[in-house]
Amino acid sequence: DAKTTQPTSMDCAEGRAANLPCNHSTISGNEYVYWYRQIHSQGPQYIIHGLKNNETNEMASLIITEDRKSSTLILPHATLRDSAVYYCIVRINDMRFGAGTRLTVKP
Amino acid sequence: GAGVSQSPSNKVTEKGKDVELRCDPISGHTALYWYRQSLGQGLEFLIYFQGNSAPDKSGLPSDRFSAERTGGSVSTLTIQRTQQEDSAVYLCASSSLPGDTQYFGPGTRLTVL
């Protein structure tokens, strides 16, 4: 079973920040938090990952709580093309994806 | 270089037939994963290969499913005596090392009539 819990779905207004939460209360000290997204029937696309520190790249920011038991993926200015299923994964070798969060960006 | 490729992109077969799905990982990637995704569902882990280690087969749903990875590169997922519930998109991914970023192929859409 996946080690993460995410809301089933979320809506966000176009141009606003989308904040996607993930709980991973059983995370161990050397496990990374990874985020992927899947648009329609395409293969999942890597977004970002982190261990302890907050991370930012051209796609998103990742905020990890100090106790590492939860994290938030932030899409700073969501566009309609960001509508997708977003998966939060905690892993070294555990390859199991949960159901993810279906983000719908609305005009 | 080239990404992960899979073939065929679509496969339609009759119930009871065997099918083989192929995955070409990114060159040099030691880890290779197979998943399947039924319509409207999340990703279901099937099997994981890492180097020369014994594969993690814990996700295979039945003994009709098997996979090989020859020479540490190309992998073939075989489904014997296909059933209608096997209809899904089968996705392959590879990563340079276990736990590293996975790169996914475009998938094979299997339809069992």
pLDDT at B1 (0 to 100) = 53
Task: Decide if pLDDT at A93 tops 70.
Answer: no
Mean pLDDT of chain B, nearest integer? 92
In this predicted model, what pLDDT tens digit does every residue of B70-96 receive, in sequence order? 887 999 999 999 999 999 999 999 998
Give the amino acid at B31: A
pLDDT at B13 (0 to 100) = 97
Task: Decide if pLDDT at A94 tops 80.
Answer: no
Half-sphere exposure of A28 (CA within 13 A, CB side): 6
Pairing of strands B44-50, B31-37: antiparallel
Q: Give chain B's contact residues with A (Cβ, < 8 Å).
A: 4, 33, 35, 42-43, 45, 48, 50, 56, 59, 89, 91, 93, 98-99, 101-107, 109
Interchain CB distance below 8 Å, A93 and B106: no
Task: Decide if pLDDT at B21 tops 90.
Answer: yes
pLDDT at A98 (0 to 100) = 80
**Residue range A78-90: mean pLDDT, rounded:** 94
Task: Decide if pLDDT at A81 tops 90.
Answer: yes
